Structure 1
Amino acid sequence: MAHWTRLALVPLLAQVALASPVPDGDHSSVHLDQRDSDSRDYASPPYYPTPPGGWLSDWSDAYEKAQKVVSNMTLAEKVNMTSGTGFFMGPCVGQTGSAPRFGIPNICLQDSPLGIRNSDHNTAFPPGITVGATFNKELMYARGVGLGEEARGKGVNVLLGPAVGPIGRKPRGGRSWETFGVDPTLQAIGGAQTIKGMQSTGAIAALKHFIGNEQEMYRMSSVVSKGYSSNIDDRTLHELYLWPFAEGVRAGVGSLMTAYNDVNSSACSQNSKLLNGILKDELGFQGFVMTDWLGHYSGVGSALAGLDMSMPGDGAVPLFGDSYWASELSKSVLNGSVPVTRILATWYKLGQDKDYPLPNFSTNTQDRTGSLYPGALVSPSGVVNQYVDVQGNHNVTVRAVAREAITLLKNEKNLLPLRRNDSLKIFGQDAGGNPDGLNKCSDQGCDKGVLTMGWGSGTARLPYLITPQKAIANVSKNAQFYITDSFPSDVTANANDIAVVFINADSGENYITVEDNPGDRTKAGLYAWHDGDKLVKAAAEKFSNVVVVVHTVGPIIMDEWIDLKSVKAVVVAYLPGQEAGNSLVDVLFGAYSPSGHLPYTIPRSESDYPDSVSLIKQPFGQIQDTYTEGLYVDYRHFLKANVTPRYHFGHGLSYTTFNFSKPTLSKVTPLDSAYPSARPSKGATPTYSTKIPDASEVSWSSTHFTRIWRYLYPYLDHPESISAKDKYPYPDGYTTTPQPAPRAGGGQGGNPALFDVAFSVKVQVQNTGKRRGRAVAQLYVELPKDLGLDTPSLQLRQFEKTKELAPGQSETLTLDISRKDVSVWDTKVQDWKAPVHGKGIKVWVGHSVGDLSVVCEVGGRCSTQ
């Protein structure tokens, strides 16, 4: 092959692996650290070749359609579908080339997980962390439907979400708010429900970021630096970080985006163990894998390792008109059928060959007309924005999600709900809007006004914003507003006054720095921004009744003021999207009882976390971020370390009270053996000719259109000069002999037997208070110690939410748990191991991980405590 491939493959030669477990970290102080962790144990053999897709019956028809088309494609058409056209080279944040001869358009890929980024007449939904706090599966699905409908309406083929990575290992990590919470089951259910909702509309979901992208700083490799390596042992990867991705694959997700960073010293976008071995073989992923934007680091090497699509297509430096794929892939390809088959099979699977709209918006401008290819200095122009309104009634879903997420942490003397005639004094800029105007900060890259979302590519423009100030003014005539983060010196406080103090904490993606925070919360730490703690204390000193409202991307430290006598109530409203004020007023004034629960732990001090989850800064060399805490992240760590947090994971109060009673546990599918039954064998997969294509298929002389400068094409000027006899330095361990089928595989997400319902728990939930409300039943599993492995004492494995119950009303909830839910990953056998007959398993049900009132022992009785 040509010399370029030798250069491009340098990063691939140190192939990734999954290593053995390492000791747990200590509980020392957590700051921005400089560490040189030893990563020598984090390497293993590569995994080749890429398993072909199409062997599952659910996908066989789509693959058959794709095979018929791909078999008749030219090499140029194949390469066109796998390569992006370049940065700013089309209406979307990324797009592939097209194959007009087969009716296949450019595939449009667009952010974000909470709405159509950089668009118009779209909805700004609440992000993942808010959705997770609802613990409401129906709302998770409904929001997914709304996202899919808007993607389809705008002509977006692939909407880049949901995000289930990062999982929130690092409390100050910049993008945890895009995901559903610091627990693999909460992430898994949130992600799967979102995917099902999105793809019910025909839009393709993109599950991201695969995997170990837990810190924003130093995540990317470039011509001058190497992104950090997340060093994760095999068991931790399977039981924690891979868990939500497996459920997303099981839900039928059409595409997956790789992370920027390395895992065990190999870049995720060319990591054969992760992509070929775990994702496509063990998890049976049938869709296609894309890079994150400019997260493509090699040419042939990444194709061999399991990558299917390069986004946005550029090489190491954007807008230079070069690429690791595109024309370079044309030079090197032997066949080219497998990546494009996966892409087209997904296109067919989601029915996008049947009247799916073309893009009618531009991510590059809000003007009606403009350049069609802004990345080129000279470009044809035309209508780029048709201003298609795709909002429908999605504001109803936005308000419902934001409302049901609201979590009441504290409510002494039942200060809440407020009455409409209460004398209110409202403090904090977070109660108002951005004084510079709506959407004045690009990608929400500022903290001005009420915090509706974090910043970065995971955002959307707000079509409108109902601020808390506006919503409160609509229901109260006795409210005075002080939209400032400095407590006014001239405020008077009467005995009947109630102070409502708004504070927030922001974070986002690393390409934007906000108030000296480069994505991750480096300067702010886990404290409120804009001296929010000081504002609360000032109000508490003057007023005898204070309500604190927190809009936040993640946990914040509250200990400076949470125990003050005047601070009677604390509400966490997360990131509510465009209906921020209405959703909050719904709860503050009692139209609805709060029913949200914390999707993470709130600690008393940042030093309560293990040292290994701190942010890392290292001036030279590649950062080695070794996951020495293993499985003990968030509440798992607090339980093991016997550290009582300020508020437990899952905590959330209501204006009413609930009682759990009459629990029962029934065995559904017997656990007759430690390991699941043998996996199903793979079905047939499409086959293709391995004949090297004729060079004329990628020759510029065969085309009849004008080249756009910097646009990435599959064509070559003199392809006939490329010899197929050139030697190619294949990666160590490369082979064309298929690997033995992983015993843990066999279906989408793994062996179908893993998802058999093992136990079903029923519990009656009664509203024992005086107001209407909804309760969440959280189910945690305690595994027996005789499994011989160090396992967290409690792990969330299921949850259900009641309908709205009137006082005295009851509802019986059913919580099913699968074989996998009560299994551990056996690193030697490479399969999931469960206690035979469920011996020694305990199942706990309650309001939070710190408030579990129901326990059932497998083979024994259930009781309430």
Structure 2
Amino acid sequence: MTAWTRLVVGFLLPQLLVASPVPDAAPDSVKVEQRDDESVDYQSPPYYPTPHGGWVSDWAEAYEKAYQVVSNMTLAEKVNLTTGTGFFMGPCVGQTGSAPRFGVPNICLQDSPLGIRNSDHNTAFPPGITTGATFNKELMYERGVALGEESRGKGVNVQLGPAVGPLGRKPRGGRIWEGFGADPVLQAVGGAQTIKGMQSTGTIASMKHFIGNEQEMYRMSSIITKGYSSNIDDRTLHELYLWPFAEGIRAGVGSLMTAYNDVNSSACSQNSKLLNGIAKDELGFQGFILTDWLGHYSGVASALAGLDMCMPGDGAVPLFGDSYWGSELSRSILNGSVPVNRLNDMVTRIVATWYKFGQDKDYPLPNFSTNTQDETGPLYPGALFSPSGVVNQFVNVQADHNVTARAVAREAITLLKNDQGILPLRRNDSLKIFGSDAGGNSDGLNSCSDQGCDKGVLTMGWGSGTARLPYLITPQEAIANISKNAEFHITDSFPSDVTATSKDIALVFINADSGENYITVEGNPGDRTAAGLNAWHNGDDLVKAAAQKFSNVVVIVHTVGPILMEEWVDLKSVKAVVVAHLPGQEAGNSLTDVLFGDYSPSGHLPYSIPRSESDYPDSVSIINQPFGQIQDTYTEGLYVDYRHFINANITPRYPFGHGLSYTTFKFSNPTISEATALDSAYPPARPSKGSTPVYNDSIPSASEVSWSSTTFTRIWRYLYPYLDNPQSITASNDYPYPEGYNTTQPEPRAGGGQGGNPAIFKTAFTVQVQVTNNGARKGKAVLQLYVELPSSLGLDTPSLQLRQFEKTKELAPGQSETVTLEITRKDVSVWDVVAQDWKAPVNGEGVKLWIGQSVADLPIVCVVGGQCSFA
């Protein structure tokens, strides 16, 4: 298959043709609807000009180095670093041009958040949703380090992750498994820890998707379609969807990727309020902002709105050799439609980030190809004629990362039910195993491109957020390695000839899959449209058939998100339910670690599991509207997942944060102390910005981008910054910049540092709880702290909101650990849409802090200004 064919069939065609409507055979419970929602009031206000980077002290050295380079660059070199070279025009999924005079190479950008996509000798880690289920900050960081080490080893400059959007607002959204869970704090901690780990190795993390990309269908604009508009009010944006991005920026993330969709009627990649106003000004983002692939929809508008890099560089239709930037950006600089100072800031942000993470010091060049697994091949497969050479050096970057991958998958395993203590299993138990999800892909490992199928054990969803499995330990293999009394039926149809005795234990494996919109799997175009929240491959029927035959049934679920269990969870024979999430390459080993009792389960649900899909608000359904722009208005506001269930007085089947253990824990001696006084409703005044680089902003000589001045062989379809006869371009003195472009914006009062005003991140209260393992087995406990804000704030606020969590070390029976939970000013604040600042109750009056093991199990309450007690 040629590069062009793969592009059209695999990515571009689904975007141009739009997702197919829901099949007629979709079950009645499926919530996919056409909604004509008039939302004319949701308009994103303009915010100009783009704030320059470099004013944060942590970045000062990197910006000084960048200044020395950028101040001597030609126009061609500057444009080269902002524009991708084109689809399939290099070894990586995307790469910029280079500035070899200054040692700046083509910057390689490569998926994915769980490993190096389309590579070899790499690790396929558990994805974000599994990592979130661990509630283990140290493992989140350790996994980030391993991801960064593998990226660096392959020569990837920017790894496209972590994903903290989508948040999981839509339970059937195709890519919620790439993020860390349906809560902004869980997402924020998972994202920030991953970023710190990745960037400790010199790899630049790219946090995505900014923002409001909560369903796959109709997400993307093209020459014939318009991506949906996520219409989000200011308070909801700040308190839910922006929260994890703010924490990632606070952690120093180097890159931010925009989403495909509109937000409040303005495309994310050219939304000046989001990019200039919020990311770069209010949140003090110092790195560079890039588009998602083919999510670049304009030239001048996106540059002025704060975009710094376009990926993969192509214009409306890829592989035509044109771009909204590239030579057109050169033209825009020469004719004055894009100010030189905007281009200087774009390039400075990119080069400063390159310096910030030490990529000028012996950082490897790419030694792999995302386009082929062959050792040699075309260097530019998107070109009609391309030079060839070695494209894959097969560098092994796995090290001992399988240990980390196994630990993450193991600590995420969430025990929902364990009647009569049927788990852990004994090694001599008589086991009967059912379900294709226990086995491997019958077509072979990695036989489905980007994991675009559901065959065998579900290790990850599908799409660009995947990686090739270097190997796979299936549950079947792992169980067989331990048990000599296991009988396997790797089928999704219950065999009629199976015999059962009272001593037999049936292990039934089921799953639920989803992924990215450019691949449709079993009628599901990314989002779970045809499948709904039900198990795939008639999994419910398989469980019920086993429960009718056997008196002891254990259900193991691999799933991308919430899955309905009502048809079988209360059956007498169903003794245990285990959610193993998406385990990556160590699927079997991590599972048997827990099933056979070598480790106690310590995972907790990163989302709620409902009793019925109708328990969710209608506004979070997948919208199927083939014509016209979808207006997806967030009418549920702050009430997503457990916030909604509590507010609507709906008891889910299993609440957010729920997870059992083989042992039990006792909480004692809770205390609360004040750290930084909340002596005012609003935080102290923000610090002023530091200085930023100052350049000569005169329009450069046209000869700097003239084709006549070049001496290299031109590659057809490769995107260059050069123009024919640029001397004919004249600058206009009255170019109509957007209103207010040449003014100076006042410094946002909520800003002042990376992530916002540093004052909001100071610890306000500290809670300590002693945790004792009072059971018979070793295990780890997870403490979750939820904030209850007082009605005196005068705003409709969810009654409980997760604000902190910690996981203990492994405690032996009788062993104790004192856990410390720190709460910041921001944690007890609401976003004041009038003041445009975070507002907290003065002195924390009326604030209650609830501590426990899930949102529905909170035995400790601490009253600010008072004491802690057992509720």
TM-score range for the pair, normalised by the shorter chain length: over 0.9
8 Å CA contact 1:151, 1:159 repeated in 2: yes
Q: Give the equivalent residue in structure 2 for 1:808.
A: 814
| CA–CA separation in structure 1 for the residues paired with 2:774 and 2:765 | 28
| CA–CA separation in structure 2 for the residues paired with 1:447 and 1:641 | 35
Q: Give the equivalent residue in structure 1 for 2:750.
A: 744
Q: Give the equivalent residue in structure 1 for 2:157.
A: 157
Q: Give the equivalent residue in structure 2 for 1:51.
A: 51
1:789 alignment partner, SS class: coil
Q: Give the equivalent residue in structure 1 for 2:189.
A: 189
Mapped pair 1:833 → 2:846: no
Superposition RMSD in Å: 0.9
| CA–CA separation in structure 2 for the residues paired with 1:340 and 1:263 | 26
Map Cα deviations across residues 608-629 of structure 1 (whole Å, 9 max, x no partner): 0000000001122100000000
TM-score (norm. length: structure 1):
0.96
2:545 alignment partner, SS class: helix
Q: Offset at 1:30?
A: 6.8
Q: Offset at 1:29?
A: 7.8
Alignment of 1:658-673 (within 5 A): 658-673=665-680
8 Å CA contact 1:431, 1:502 repeated in 2: yes
Mapped pair 1:688 → 2:695: yes
Alignment of 1:311-460 (within 5 A): 311-333=311-333, 334-335=339-340, 336-460=343-467
Q: Give the equivalent residue in structure 2 for 1:70.
A: 70
| CA–CA separation in structure 1 for the residues paired with 2:453 and 2:755 | 39
8 Å CA contact 2:44, 2:265 repeated in 1: no
Q: Give the equivalent residue in structure 1 for 2:113.
A: 113
Map Cα deviations across residues 322-358 of structure 1 (whole Å, 9 max, x no partner): 0000000000024121100000000000110011000
Q: Give the equivalent residue in structure 1 for 2:87.
A: 87
2:777 equivalent among 749, 764, 771: 771
| CA–CA separation in structure 1 for the residues paired with 2:323 and 2:44 | 29
Q: Give the equivalent residue in structure 1 for 2:804.
A: 798
Code of the aligned partner of 1:443: D
1:863 alignment partner, SS class: strand
Q: Give the equivalent residue in structure 2 for 1:579.
A: 586
1:852 alignment partner, SS class: coil
Q: Give the equivalent residue in structure 2 for 1:849.
A: 855
| CA–CA separation in structure 1 for the residues paired with 2:471 and 2:36 | 47
Code of the aligned partner of 2:362: D
Q: Offset at 1:48?
A: 0.1
Alignment of 1:270-309 (within 5 A): 270-309=270-309
8 Å CA contact 2:30, 2:530 repeated in 1: no
Code of the aligned partner of 2:776: K
| CA–CA separation in structure 1 for the residues paired with 2:825 and 2:68 | 39
Q: Give the equivalent residue in structure 1 for 2:130.
A: 130
| CA–CA separation in structure 2 for the residues paired with 1:306 and 1:845 | 42
8 Å CA contact 2:434, 2:509 repeated in 1: yes
8 Å CA contact 2:119, 2:467 repeated in 1: yes
| CA–CA separation in structure 2 for the residues paired with 1:66 and 1:387 | 33
Map Cα deviations across residues 502-540 of structure 1 (whole Å, 9 max, x no partner): 000000000000000000000000000000000000000
Mapped pair 1:505 → 2:519: no
Alignment of 1:25-40 (within 5 A): 31-40=31-40
| CA–CA separation in structure 1 for the residues paired with 2:51 and 2:771 | 47
Mapped pair 1:714 → 2:721: yes
Structure 1, unaligned stretches of length 5 or more? 1-27
Q: Offset at 1:495?
A: 1.0
8 Å CA contact 1:30, 1:611 repeated in 2: no
More deviation in 371-380 or 40-49? 40-49
| CA–CA separation in structure 2 for the residues paired with 1:131 and 1:696 | 52
Q: Give the equivalent residue in structure 2 for 1:465.
A: 472
Q: Give the equivalent residue in structure 2 for 1:177.
A: 177
| CA–CA separation in structure 1 for the residues paired with 2:777 and 2:65 | 56
1:676 equivalent among 675, 683, 686: 683
Q: Offset at 1:717?
A: 1.2
| CA–CA separation in structure 1 for the residues paired with 2:168 and 2:620 | 10
1:848 alignment partner, SS class: coil
Map Cα deviations across residues 697-744 of structure 1 (whole Å, 9 max, x no partner): 00011110010000000001110011112864433x241222000000
8 Å CA contact 1:30, 1:610 repeated in 2: no
| CA–CA separation in structure 2 for the residues paired with 1:857 and 1:725 | 64
Q: Give the equivalent residue in structure 2 for 1:7.
A: none
2:492 alignment partner, SS class: coil
1:147 alignment partner, SS class: helix
Code of the aligned partner of 1:631: L
1:703 equivalent among 705, 710, 727: 710
8 Å CA contact 2:181, 2:607 repeated in 1: yes
Q: Measured at CA, do residues 248 and 653 of structure 1 come closer, stay the same or move farther in structure 2, by a change above 3 Å?
A: same
Map Cα deviations across residues 635-656 of structure 1 (whole Å, 9 max, x no partner): 0000000000000000000001
| CA–CA separation in structure 1 for the residues paired with 2:611 and 2:828 | 31
1:644 equivalent among 651, 658, 664: 651
8 Å CA contact 1:128, 1:179 repeated in 2: yes
Code of the aligned partner of 1:750: G
Code of the aligned partner of 1:422: D
| CA–CA separation in structure 2 for the residues paired with 1:223 and 1:435 | 39
Map Cα deviations across residues 585-618 of structure 1 (whole Å, 9 max, x no partner): 0000000000000000000000000000000011
Mapped pair 1:821 → 2:821: no
2:109 alignment partner, SS class: strand
Q: Give the equivalent residue in structure 1 for 2:24.
A: none
8 Å CA contact 2:44, 2:266 repeated in 1: no
| CA–CA separation in structure 2 for the residues paired with 1:369 and 1:859 | 68
Mapped pair 1:789 → 2:795: yes
| CA–CA separation in structure 2 for the residues paired with 1:216 and 1:862 | 45
Q: Give the equivalent residue in structure 2 for 1:245.
A: 245
8 Å CA contact 2:30, 2:529 repeated in 1: no
| CA–CA separation in structure 2 for the residues paired with 1:271 and 1:29 | 36
8 Å CA contact 1:93, 1:312 repeated in 2: yes
| CA–CA separation in structure 1 for the residues paired with 2:385 and 2:801 | 57
More deviation in 32-41 or 586-595? 32-41
8 Å CA contact 2:30, 2:531 repeated in 1: no
| CA–CA separation in structure 2 for the residues paired with 1:233 and 1:706 | 51
2:60 alignment partner, SS class: helix
2:349 alignment partner, SS class: helix
2:662 equivalent among 651, 655, 662: 655
Q: Give the equivalent residue in structure 2 for 1:610.
A: 617
Q: Offset at 1:689?
A: 1.0
| CA–CA separation in structure 2 for the residues paired with 1:702 and 1:668 | 64
| CA–CA separation in structure 1 for the residues paired with 2:429 and 2:666 | 31
| CA–CA separation in structure 2 for the residues paired with 1:726 and 1:221 | 33
Residue-pair matches, total: 837
Q: Measured at CA, do residues 637 and 29 of structure 1 come closer, stay the same or move farther in structure 2, by a change above 3 Å?
A: farther
Q: Give the equivalent residue in structure 2 for 1:15.
A: none
Structure 2, unaligned stretches of length 5 or more? 1-27, 334-338
1:64 alignment partner, SS class: helix
Map Cα deviations across residues 441-468 of structure 1 (whole Å, 9 max, x no partner): 0000000000000000000000000000
8 Å CA contact 1:30, 1:607 repeated in 2: no
Code of the aligned partner of 2:713: T
2:34 alignment partner, SS class: coil
8 Å CA contact 2:30, 2:532 repeated in 1: no
| CA–CA separation in structure 1 for the residues paired with 2:768 and 2:364 | 45
Show structure 1 runs of 4+ deviating over 3 A: 726-729
| CA–CA separation in structure 1 for the residues paired with 2:35 and 2:521 | 25
Q: Give the equivalent residue in structure 2 for 1:265.
A: 265
Code of the aligned partner of 2:748: P
| CA–CA separation in structure 2 for the residues paired with 1:725 and 1:59 | 35
Code of the aligned partner of 1:242: L
